[in-house]
């Protein structure tokens, strides 16, 4: 089949026409790729070899498409013709979304919310599932029940409590802001000055400029929260210095820090607890614990979309479709041209 590939670390992506179509395992589905999003990790895998389990590499971990084949254990969960979206295994043969057909692990596959198009659904997987892991697994935020969402029951905390999202305009950060707000928290989000209105539209009460000195950022946060803050999520993977400075100024009490930075070995600091988001294990057998968590949250997350509580990411749609457009989208994202928008490309017609 056709797709995009790189033979080894450091080689450029190219269009190929001889990629194998993989057979889904008992707990997997085969999906026809319609729209795929491009993420920074696609370039990290190619240029650094990180998270690549085997070469050659087919990029893409974030897509929406149509089920064309189901594994033997999937009866009743998905069927041929279903529209799905979500995050696939990183750097694993058969799972890259920048090809005509790709594998998904059924337990972490999201049925496309009824009120989203396939294009919109392609912006959801990585950002939403990573943000959910950060809040519900790492930061001990209470997950709304499905019935509470269906009944549109407002989540309220016993008293006002703030949460900080660093990198609020990133794909992960945008969903983290929305989930914190849904769960009853007031949110402060760091971003560029140009993205301040965007993060406020998503639910942040305060946007502060990440380009300011850390001391000024901490001063801003303390001025709004009066110390009623126990949770910091670093969606940008660069915010541990800010969290250390903030925690140093907070009174005694719970201090939870979570980050997508899996490579720096960040430990506990200033009386707080550090928990790293394990999104790289999504779908993989060695990620059984987080896969079960995601599987349990998916009905709630889909309902939040269908009730209008969650919004997909703004996006830039690149090219006219097809694999030359996929190459164009990969280049576009690598240059940061999309800013806070998700970079999406149409792979093929449905």
Q: Are residues 327 and 188 in the same domain?
A: no
Q: Are residues 144 and 267 in the same domain?
A: yes
Domain final residue pick, 225, 252, 278: 278
| 204/331 Cα distance (integer angstroms) | 31
Strand partners, 103: 30
Q: Are residues 62 and 185 in the same domain?
A: no
Is 36 inside any structural domain? yes
Segment 36-60 shows an average pLDDT of 94
264 alpha-carbon distance from chain centroid: 20
For residue 220, count other CB atoms closer than 10 A to its CB: 17
Q: Are residues 120 and 212 in the same domain?
A: no
Segment 102-116 shows an average pLDDT of 98
Domain range enclosing 53: 3-124+312-346
Domain final residue pick, 278, 301, 332: 278
| 174/73 Cα distance (integer angstroms) | 34
Q: Are residues 263 and 134 in the same domain?
A: yes
Confidence check: pLDDT of 30 > 90? yes
Domain final residue pick, 252, 278, 304: 278
DSSP single-letter state for residue 278: -
Segment 306-315 shows an average pLDDT of 97
Is 49 inside any structural domain? yes
Is 47 inside any structural domain? yes
Q: Residue 110 in contact with residue 302, Cβ under 8 Å?
A: yes
Q: Are residues 114 and 189 in the same domain?
A: no
Strand partners, 35: 64, 346
- The reply to whether omega before 82 is within 30° of 0 (cis) is no
Q: Are residues 34 and 171 in the same domain?
A: no
Is 286 inside any structural domain? no
For residue 167, count other CB atoms closer than 10 A to its CB: 26
| 72/55 Cα distance (integer angstroms) | 28
Retrieve residue 342's tokens. 């998700």
Could you tell me the CATH number of the domain that includes residue 84? Answer: 3.90.180.10
**Taking Cα atoms as reference points, which of 61, 53, 67, 65 lies closest to residue 9?**
53
Q: Are residues 119 and 143 in the same domain?
A: no
Is 170 inside any structural domain? yes
Is 263 inside any structural domain? yes
Number of domains in the chain: 2
- The percent helix, strand, coil of the chain (3-state, each to 5) is 35, 25, 45
Res 114: pLDDT? 98
- The reply to whether omega before 56 is within 30° of 0 (cis) is yes
| 129/347 Cα distance (integer angstroms) | 23
Element (H, E) at 125: helix 125-132
Residue showing tokens 């997997």: 28
3-state secondary structure of 113: coil
Segment 46-67 shows an average pLDDT of 95
Q: Are residues 164 and 262 in the same domain?
A: yes
- 83-87 and 62-70 as β-strands: parallel, antiparallel, unpaired? antiparallel
Confidence check: pLDDT of 51 > 90? no
Confidence check: pLDDT of 172 > 90? yes
Q: Are residues 54 and 136 in the same domain?
A: no
Could you tell me the CATH number of the domain that includes residue 157? Answer: 3.40.50.720
Q: Are residues 91 and 140 in the same domain?
A: no
Is 289 inside any structural domain? no
Is 284 inside any structural domain? no
Q: What distances in angstroms separate CA 149 from CA 128, 249, 312, one per listed residue?
A: 17, 36, 18
pLDDT in tens, 8-22: 999 999 999 999 999
DSSP single-letter state for residue 135: I
Confidence check: pLDDT of 253 > 90? no
Q: What distances in angstroms separate CA 246 from CA 141, 163, 222, 262, one per listed residue?
A: 20, 12, 8, 21
Q: Quickly state the pLDDT bin for 205 (edges 50, 70, 90).
A: very high
pLDDT in tens, 142-152: 999 999 999 99
Q: Residue 328 in contact with residue 318, Cβ under 8 Å?
A: yes
Q: Are residues 108 and 174 in the same domain?
A: no
Q: What is the mean pLDDT of the chain?
A: 96
Q: Residue 345 in contact with residue 317, Cβ under 8 Å?
A: yes
pLDDT in tens, 264-307: 999 999 999 999 998 888 888 889 999 999 999 999 999 999 99
């Amino acid at each position: 089949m056709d797709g995009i590939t790189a033979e080894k670390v450091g080689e450029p992506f190219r269009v190929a026409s001889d990629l194998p179509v993989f057979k889904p395992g008992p707990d997997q589905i085969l999906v026809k790729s319609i729209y795929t999003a491009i993420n920074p990790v696609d370039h990290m895998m190619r240029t650094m070899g990180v998270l690549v389990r085997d070469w050659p590499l087919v990029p893409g971990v974030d897509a929406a498409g149509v089920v064309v084949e189901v594994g033997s254990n999937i009866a009743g969960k998905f069927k041929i013709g279903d529209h799905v979206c979500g995050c696939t295994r990183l750097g694993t043969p058969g799972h890259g979304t920048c090809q005509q057909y790709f594998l998904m692990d059924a337990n972490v596959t999201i049925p496309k919310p009824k009120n989203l198009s396939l294009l919109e659904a392609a912006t959801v997987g990585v950002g939403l599932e990573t943000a959910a892991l950060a809040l519900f697994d790492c930061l001990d935020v209470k997950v709304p029940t499905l019935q509470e969402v269906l009944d549109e029951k407002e989540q309220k905390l016993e008293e006002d409590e703030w949460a900080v999202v660093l990198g609020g305009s990133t794909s992960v950060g945008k969903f983290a802001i929305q989930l914190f707000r849904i769960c009853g928290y007031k949110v402060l989000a760091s971003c560029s000055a140009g993205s301040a209105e965007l993060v406020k539209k998503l639910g942040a009460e305060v946007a502060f400029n990440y380009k300011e000195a850390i001391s000024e950022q901490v001063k801003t946060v303390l001025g709004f929260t009066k110390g009623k803050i126990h949770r910091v999520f670093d969606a940008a993977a660069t915010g541990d210095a800010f969290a250390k400075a903030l925690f140093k100024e907070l009174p005694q009490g719970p201090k939870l820090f979570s980050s997508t930075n899996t490579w720096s070995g960040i430990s506990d600091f200033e009386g707080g607890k550090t928990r790293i988001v394990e999104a790289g294990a999504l779908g993989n057998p060695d990620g059984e614990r987080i896969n079960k968590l995601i599987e349990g949250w998916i009905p709630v997350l889909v309902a939040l979309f269908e009730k209008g509580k969650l919004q997909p990411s703004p996006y830039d749609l690149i090219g006219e479709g097809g694999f030359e457009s996929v190459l164009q989208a990969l280049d576009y994202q690598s240059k940061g041209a999309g800013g806070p928008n998700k970079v999406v490309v149409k792979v093929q017609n449905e």
